Structure 1
Amino acid sequence: MRHAAAQATHPTAPTVSPAHALRRRALAQATVGIGGWAALGATGLGTTPAWAQRMPAPSAPATPITWPAADPVLAARHQRAFAGMAARIDAQLADVQSVVAVQRGHLAFEYYRRPGVAADSLQDTQSVTKSVLALLFGCALADGAVRGTNELVAPRLPDMLRISDEPRLRQLRFEHLLTMTAGWAGDQTAQRDRDDDLRQIVRRPFVAAPGARFAYDNGTANLLALALARAVGRPLADYARDRLFAPLGINRFDWRRGAQGHALGALGLWLPTRAMARLGELVQAEGRWAGRALLPADYVRRATERRNAGGAPLFAAYGYLWWVASTAAPRGASGRTAMANGYGGQWIYVYPPLQLVVAATSRRTPESMARGQAATLIRSDILNAVRRSGA
């Protein structure tokens, strides 16, 4: 996601020329890897505003997420697969800040850049927030707080229709928000004083009918967050804590709010890297955890299947706020690859053919975004190493 700075306090992001935009697209297409996804963060060129970069205030120590020990055979294969991986990251992938790889329900590899990053460090996930928002919609669906993805949005936020008489607002369904097909032009900037302001979101001009075309748009995700909070009748962070995070053992997080006091949907969620991996495991398990269905399996399948062709900035297909790719898989294994991606190289990568989940965080800079080191690590190092080891 590209971030313009907050109004009146920081300069705006530089304008990207048409020629530069073409070069960026060519680079993205040239670096397409496993399943056709680009080795770039879901972001454009720009700087992250200071309000998004501040670390959350320290909270009470949390119980760390753990996994059961692997059997000796699998443990030996993991050791073989990841031999020398930490040294390579240290020496050659300076943008990468943390990595957690979980295979077959066991912690296979873990890395934190020292000094400064630890297992309990909260990481700014950037647009990974969008994919977690999609999971929360599934929780609300299971709870009966929303009736389905085809439900109209306006009855949940009737102020929309008082703010604007644009007829296309009446046509908006949750399906359009989840698939980034609301009809607004794509906007990948973030400005704290407007991002959770309903007036600013809905007064933007439509460029297409709802459902007609994909456009990666922060405003659409922020509108979904507002509507979902209204549907569940609680602040979104509270609902996430009780309904999603606590059952998964995630008891340390921070969810930034906009100037109006609402949790953002486009960005703002801070999590430990292990928590990111645990969320990937939930997706891999199609919403079931510890014998309990946290969200409907059919919804998770739809969320991580191609709903439309997608496009910029990742140039991959799109599901429900998850990037998706078809992947060759052995008989009986799922061929879906699901990806949550954020500015600079924040990833949750779910690869069912190997029963593998990888979470990675990176520096949040334009340079880190352009280099795509975390994506290269996942695609060229981790997946290939696990395949060769037979794990």
Structure 2
Amino acid sequence: MPVTCGIDQGRRRTLATASLALGALALPNATVWAQRTGPATDRLAWPPAPAPLAAQHQRAWAGLSSRIEVQLPDVQSLAVLHRGHLAHEFYRAGVTADTLQDTQSVTKSVLALLFGQAQADGHVRGPDELVAQRLPQMLRVGADARVQRLRFAHLLTMTAGWKGDQTAQRDRDDDLAQIVRRPFVAQPGERFAYDNGSANLLALALASAVGQPLADYARARLFEPLGIRRFAWRQGAQGRALGALGLSLSTRAMARLGELVLAQGQWQDHALVPTAFVRAATERQSAGGYPLGAAYGYLWWLGASAPRRTAMANGYGGQWIYVHPPLDLVVAVTSRRTPESAARGQGLSLIERDIVPTVQHMR
């Protein structure tokens, strides 16, 4: 059965080149990290699958780990959730279920969930609110007057009007003046341009709105309710958490966040993140485009049309949270963070050529 839920073949051909630019890798010695929190293990777990489904999973994934080990050397870990059960895991030597891994631009998609949580908590009114309402100092740094018209929706949809920047530089990534003084090339809302600066500005504004460091807010209001107790969040030179990249999570934690998106923000019989916001985040808000060649929601990439679209969080080198509602499927993949890994795209190939077709044949 052909795979129609993800990136089409034309877009796939552009991925090798485009992914080189997606969430440019920052050098470890040029970063500051927020303190890691929590015990040695999250102990994230899922209920065992009913015997018939467990048997299906065992047959379906027989030999997959060996194939990844030999044929997909870039892939470092894999977690597959199907119908609410942990169907398969793979960890390369030196990586475990508790290893914190740099998710790169997956950080952006998690930031979107935090915005939805902040809206539920009353810290922001919603995507249509002016950014300057929560970060008034951005109007006092001599920036283009168009900064006054920036709304959170422009940052969430990558339509702020700046040229777009996929690089990471510690000395400027959390520097408000450096971000907002960049020249505009379009009116806010006019066109899509994948831009790390917009995500970093969103992180600054959100931290200001909630009145505490973003990592602290994320721990209390998003991660701990999901059972995620260990993470690390990279800071810029000014000591503020970045929004474009820098969040390190375990593979199971990535899968748990995907599970939350699959459930449209519902967790343990209540709305952890507002359902309406999660729906909007995973619906087409713009045509998207470079570098992934896919439509865009609120800091989530979107797959082809379906009753509910595939939602994808993607980071440099092949870090993925892949949420496919029609199959009740979540896949988390981590890969090496190198230009070669980005070009080969083994993580996405594993998802769309192995995992999704296998689950389709289970129905």
What range is the shorter-chain TM-score in? over 0.9
Contact 2:162/2:186 (<8 A) preserved: yes
SS at match of 1:256: strand
Please, what TM-score do these two structures have when normalized by structure 1? 0.87
Query: Match for residue 355 of structure 1?
Result: 328
Query: Match for residue 192 of structure 1?
Result: 170
RMSD over equivalenced CA pairs, Å: 2.1
Please, what TM-score do these two structures have when normalized by structure 2? 0.93
Candidates 189, 201, 218, aligned match of 1:240: 218
Q: Deviation string for 1:334-365 (max 9, x for gaps)?
A: 33100000000000000001100000000000
SS at match of 1:221: helix
Stretch moving more, 59-68 or 224-233: 59-68
Shift of 1:215: 0.2
Distance, in Å, in 2 between the alignment partners of 1:139 and 1:371 is: 35
Task: Pick closer, same or farther for the CA change 1:339–1:101 going to 2, 3 Å.
Answer: same
Runs of 5+ in structure 1 lacking a partner? Answer: 1-27, 329-333
Task: Pick closer, same or farther for the CA change 1:106–1:266 going to 2, 3 Å.
Answer: same
Query: Match for residue 113 of structure 1?
Result: 92
Contact 1:316/1:325 (<8 A) preserved: yes
Shift of 1:63: 3.2
Instruction: Say how many residue pairs are matched.
Output: 355
Query: Match for residue 102 of structure 1?
Result: 81
Runs of 5+ in structure 2 lacking a partner? Answer: 1-6
Query: Match for residue 77 of structure 1?
Result: 56
Contact 1:42/1:341 (<8 A) preserved: no
Query: Match for residue 375 of structure 1?
Result: 348
Task: Pick closer, same or farther for the CA change 1:37–1:240 going to 2, 3 Å.
Answer: farther
Stretch moving more, 256-265 or 155-164: 155-164
Q: Deviation string for 1:38-83 (max 9, x for gaps)?
A: 5777441876423379999876412310000000011011112211
Whether 2:193 is the aligned partner of 1:215: answer yes
SS at match of 1:99: strand
Query: Match for residue 139 of structure 2?
Result: 161
Q: Deviation string for 1:265-289 (max 9, x for gaps)?
A: 0001000000000000000000010
1:224 partner amino acid: L
Distance, in Å, in 1 between the alignment partners of 2:120 and 2:352 is: 34
2:64 partner amino acid: M
Q: Deviation string for 1:154-198 (max 9, x for gaps)?
A: 121111111025210110000000000000001000001110000
Distance, in Å, in 1 between the alignment partners of 2:259 and 2:319 is: 16
Shift of 1:31: 5.7
Candidates 228, 232, 248, aligned match of 1:250: 228
Contact 2:323/2:330 (<8 A) preserved: yes
Contact 2:25/2:316 (<8 A) preserved: no
Distance, in Å, in 1 between the alignment partners of 2:45 and 2:30 is: 29
Query: Match for residue 17 of structure 1?
Result: none
Contact 2:165/2:194 (<8 A) preserved: yes
Candidates 311, 314, 317, aligned match of 1:338: 311
Distance, in Å, in 2 between the alignment partners of 1:238 and 1:56 is: 10
Task: Pick closer, same or farther for the CA change 1:181–1:56 going to 2, 3 Å.
Answer: closer
Distance, in Å, in 2 between the alignment partners of 1:135 and 1:54 is: 23
1:265-276 maps to which residues of 2 (within 5 A)? 265-276=243-254
Whether 2:117 is the aligned partner of 1:139: answer yes
